[in-house]
Amino acid sequence: MIVTYLDVDPHEVPARMPSPYGPVHPLARRAAEQLRDELRGDPLEGKMFGVLVVEERGRIGFVRACSGMLDGRWDVEGFAPPVFDAASRDAFWPAAERELAELTNALAALDARIADARAAVDQHAAAALILRARHRERRAERHAQRASGADAHALDQQSRGDAAEKRRHVAVGVPLVAALRALEDEAKALANARAGRSRELLHRVFATYALANARGETRPLRDVFAPAEPPGGAGDCAAPKLLAYAYRHGLRPVALAEVWVGPASGGRFDGHYYPPCRGKCEPVLRHMLAGLDVEDPPALTLSIAADEPRTVFEDDWLLVVAKPAGLLSVPGKAHTDCVEQRLRARHAHAMLVHRLDLDTSGLLVAAKDPATHAALQAQFAERAIEKRYIAWLDGEPTTDGGTIDLPLRVDLDDRPRQLIDHVHGKPAITEWRVLSRENGRTRVAFFPRTGRAHQLRVHAACGIGIPIVGDRLYGIPSDRLLLHAEAIRFVHPQTNKVCEFVQRAPF
């Protein structure tokens, strides 16, 4: 057994297991802090660790687990083992890894040959440009010589010589292009073969996972995600390992927490607690928690606000409204109620020009006709519209402002979270300035120069290093996110007048 027992008063034990997606229970936090103390000083890469507080014959303790592998190993002394059947996996996976590695190496070798072939084609194309320029100059010289009465036959001979030279050069290029195309086709076929083989092997990997729950039911991993396929790494996070271990050893789960330990990465910070990811863990936990008395999870989104968007300005072409927190800007998958829908009850063709996060309050601009909509969107695309946001940071930055330039993309395994990605991310730039400091928090103004999803929230958490108060995705959840779109400035598409609107933050 790998249970670490705790000295706990009975009143500290929750009557119902708190939802893993809700606030961290004090017992789970205590266990996690003990784990962090044990790991302190180890040269770890940033990684998510989990603790599960359990009850065994009246005694309270906790079990540890990490997400994925630790130090290149699945089985680590003192930690819950992986969920998959190790013997079944070991029967084919080492050979499968070698096979995939060979295919990967073959693709890398082909890529090198393709690079050489492409360089040869490019070099030939460059030589063709030089040859074309030389022929153009000689053609001009012949034209001048003909005008001065030079020997026409000799000049015709020169012209035919240039044409022959061009044909010879083209002939040299034909096999170069053909060789490049053949290599590219070969690489495409090999990449498709590797992808197909990888899918086959992944299905075999998934078959080694059997997920139990508190009712004694066991389901295959693919069945839990059906009709979709499980994402890579599903079942390997800390939470499924912890629950599987508890069920296997007759331990009653009491409280669960996951904490990031080590250097920051992907918008996660040392010592911060995070709920299980939605993409890989939610379907797994939905099954594995069945049969336990677990508190209902908080909604992924806030309750839809009952307040109507208040009209700040309106004319024949556009509207400016103040959106309350908790109301979608446009329809979502689970809700159709939104600012745009409510505006269309009064203006049939109203279209929002931009959006605010569900949790964010503040100013939104809507157009009443397609021409105005297109003109305003063009201003956004050209970064001609100026916006100012007000927020409270959950801490005190070491500087009084600056510019954050961190590209963003969606976290495919944990939507709607966004990640910093310097390779595949889209440009995201924010200027910011401290307005005041009070009781360990900091009031700031944000001036976004781009409009990426969750840009200010990620830039606060990762660029400044301090999340916005109440940020349930990148910080610590609370009653509401303290982020408000306070001001917007743009040129009216119809009157050409500069319009500026301000709606003070309600906090």
Q: What confidence tens digit (pLDDT) does each residue in 368-399 have?
A: 999 999 999 999 999 999 999 999 999 999 99
Q: Are the beta carbons of 356 and 483 closer than 8 angstroms?
A: no
Mean pLDDT for all residues in the chain: 93
Q: How many helices and strands in the chain, by DSSP H and E? A: 10, 18
State the helix-helix crossing angle for 152-206 and 93-147, rounded to 10 degrees: 170
Length reported for the chain: 507
HEC readout, 220-237: EHHHHHCCCCCCCCCCCC
Q: Is the dihedral of CA 462, 468, 469, 475 positive or negative?
A: negative
Residue in this structure with the two tokens 């992924």, named with its chain if needed: 300
Identity of the residue numbered 2: I
Spatial neighbors of 430 by CB under 8 A, at least 6 apart, are: 403, 404, 446, 447, 448, 449, 450, 455, 456, 459, 463
Residue-wise DSSP of 451-478: --TTHHHHIIIIIIS-PBTB-TTTS-B-
Across 15-31, b (16+ Cβ under 10 Å) vs e yields eebbbbbebbbebbbbb
CB under 8 Å, gap of 24 or more: what pairs does 38-41 form? 39/261
Residue in this structure with the two tokens 């939610």, named with its chain if needed: 282
pLDDT at residue 476, rounded to an integer:
78
pLDDT at residue 302, rounded to an integer:
47
How far apart are the C-alpha atoms of 442 and 433, rounded to whole Å?
A: 10
Residue-wise DSSP of 161-191: HHHHHHHHHHHHHHHHHHHHHHHHHHHHHHH
How far apart are the C-alpha atoms of 28 and 62, rounded to whole Å?
A: 8
How far apart are the C-alpha atoms of 470 and 460, rounded to whole Å?
A: 12
CATH number of 310-502: 3.30.2350.10
Beta-bridge partners for 436 = 443
pLDDT at residue 275, rounded to an integer:
87
- Strand-strand pairing, 218-220 and 59-66: unpaired
How many whole angstroms from its chain centre is CA 460?
16
How many whole angstroms from its chain centre is CA 464?
19
To 10 degrees, the CA torsion angle through 325, 329, 335, 336? 130
Q: Are the beta carbons of 457 and 482 closer than 8 angstroms?
A: no
Coil vs helix vs strand at 304:
coil
Angle (CA) 363-314-481 rounded to 5° is 15
Please give the chain's pLDDT, 507 residues, in tens: 799 999 999 999 999 999 998 889 999 999 999 999 999 877 568 899 999 999 999 999 999 999 999 988 999 999 999 999 999 999 999 999 999 999 999 999 999 999 999 999 999 999 999 999 999 999 999 999 988 988 888 888 999 999 999 999 999 999 999 999 999 999 999 999 999 999 999 999 999 999 999 999 999 999 999 998 998 889 999 999 999 999 999 999 999 999 999 987 777 878 888 888 888 899 999 999 999 999 987 654 444 566 789 999 999 999 999 999 989 999 877 678 899 999 999 999 999 999 999 999 999 999 999 999 999 999 999 999 999 999 999 999 999 999 999 999 998 878 888 999 999 999 999 999 999 999 999 999 999 999 999 999 999 999 999 999 999 888 877 889 999 999 999 999 999 999 999 999 999
Question: Of 490, 22, 89, which Cα lies nearest the Cα of 256?
Answer: 22
How is the chain split into domains, by residue range?
Answer: 4-84+209-288, 99-206, 310-502
Question: What percent of the residues of the chain are helix, what percent strand, and what percent coil, each to the nearest 5?
Answer: 35, 25, 40
Query: Could you list the active site residues?
Result: 357
Q: What is the pLDDT of residues 239-258, one digit of tens each?
A: 999 999 999 999 999 999 99
